Structure 1
Amino acid sequence: MEAATQYCRLGEARLHDGMQGVYIRDKHLILLDSRLCGVQLCCVLAHEISHARHMDAGCHVDKWVERRADQEAALMLIDTMEYAYAETVYEGNIVGMARELNVLPWVIEAYRERLHDDPTLAML
C-alpha cells in the first residue's frame, strides 16, 4: 500500500459542497481546495494522505473510513509529548490545545479517540 502513495499526485482546485479535499483513486490524485491555507491545508492533506495510503474509493465512503483517516492524520500531525504538554497546560480545552499544536480542533478530537482506542499511545 505504501507504494500507492509514492505516486499519488497533488493538485488544487476550487472544490464545492463544503469539500476541503478529496482523494480520487482511479487518478491517484489528491485534490485540495485552493482556498485552504496554513493549518487547514496541513490537516486536510494529512487526512487525504490516509485515504491515498488505503486507496479508499469515493468520497466520504463511510463513517469508519473517515474516522480512520482522521485518526491517522492526527497521528501524523501530533507528537505524543507535545500533546501531553498541551493537555496539561490547557486542561483539556480542545481549542487551546489545537492552537498550541498547530492543528484544527477535529484533529485533537481524533487524537483523543485514538488514545481511547489504543491507550498504549500515551506511553510512547
Structure 2
Amino acid sequence: MRIWGQMTAVATPGNITALLYWGTGADANGTILGTTAATALTAGTALSWELDLLIRCRTLGSGGALITHGMLNANVSLIASTLQPVMIPASSAAAVTVDLTANNVMSPQMIASGSAGSAVIVHDYTYEALN
C-alpha cells in the first residue's frame, strides 16, 4: 500500500501518528495493525508526505493473523530530517489476530494532536495484492 499527498500543519501543529486499522473504515474503528510513534510536526503549508506499508497475511480465517511494517516520509519542513523515516511499527513487529472473514477493510489513518486546522490531502493511493 502506497499513499502520497500533502499536509498543512497550523501554527501549533503538535504531533502526527499514522495508523493502519482493520475495521469498517470509520475514524479510529477496528483493530490497529500497525502504528507509528507520535512524531513532532513543524507548521507548514501544502507539504508532501508518503506512507508505504506492507501487510502480510500469516494465517487465514476467523482467527487470521496480519503483520504490518512500513514507513512514513515527509518533506523536512513538515517532519524534521532527524525524525525520519518514521517507522511502522514504532517498536518490535508482531502479527495481529483479526477476523479475516468479516466484511472489513484496511483503513490507513493519520491523527494530528495539535490545534484545529491541520489538513491531510491524499493525491494518490495504490493498493496492490502481491499474490
Q: TM-score, normalised on structure 2?
A: 0.23
Q: TM-score, normalised on structure 1?
A: 0.24
Select the structure that is richer in helix.
1
